[in-house]
Amino acid sequence: MLLERLKTALYLFQSGKAPWILVSGDNRSIYYNEPQAMRRWLLKQDVPPTHVISDYAGRRTYDSLKRAQRVFGIRRIIVVTSDFHMARALFLARSMGMEAWGVTANTRDIPWYGRMGFWFREWIARHVAVWDSWFPPTPVLGPREPTPEDYLP
């Protein structure tokens, strides 16, 4: 699924619809580093290193979006994720006041019985998202970090 998300983000970048890419994910363990893996793959696809920004504290969707807004200064965002996750991601982004659009990554190759676990997890996560929108948690933030948009005229 992650590879399909990356392919979709790459398409948006190459077609000029996204001028740069923010990769966000978990890296709480030295054996598991989502942003680093995503960045490496995008660089191998010839995306310039200055156009791939890494967020290493996106432990969950709420954290990734809040950090995109507060740490990276993003006000308008194209969310690339799986179809079952898209509604929650857009709900959270919009509840934070972001202008958000979504492009779903291909999930056709996941068999129905494999998707059931994702849908069940998502059913629970959507309830948590509503709670988070009512009572916003405090994610790990930090100082403002530059993005390619900071250097545009």
Taking only the tens place, the pLDDT of each residue in 95-119 is 999 999 999 998 888 777 777 888 8
CA 146, CA 1: separation in Å to the nearest integer? 28
Cα 151 to Cα 21, 66, 82, 146, distances in angstroms: 15, 22, 31, 8
Q: How far is CA 9 from the centre of its chain?
A: 10
Query: pLDDT tens for residues 1-46?
Result: 889 999 999 999 999 999 999 999 988 888 889 999 999 999 999 9
Helix (H, G, I), strand (E, B) or coil at 53: strand
87 has a pLDDT exceeding 80? yes
CA 7, CA 20: separation in Å to the nearest integer? 14
- Domains of the chain (ranges; CATH) run 2-151 (3.40.50)
Among left, alpha and beta (phi > 0; psi -120 to 50; other), residue 16 is left
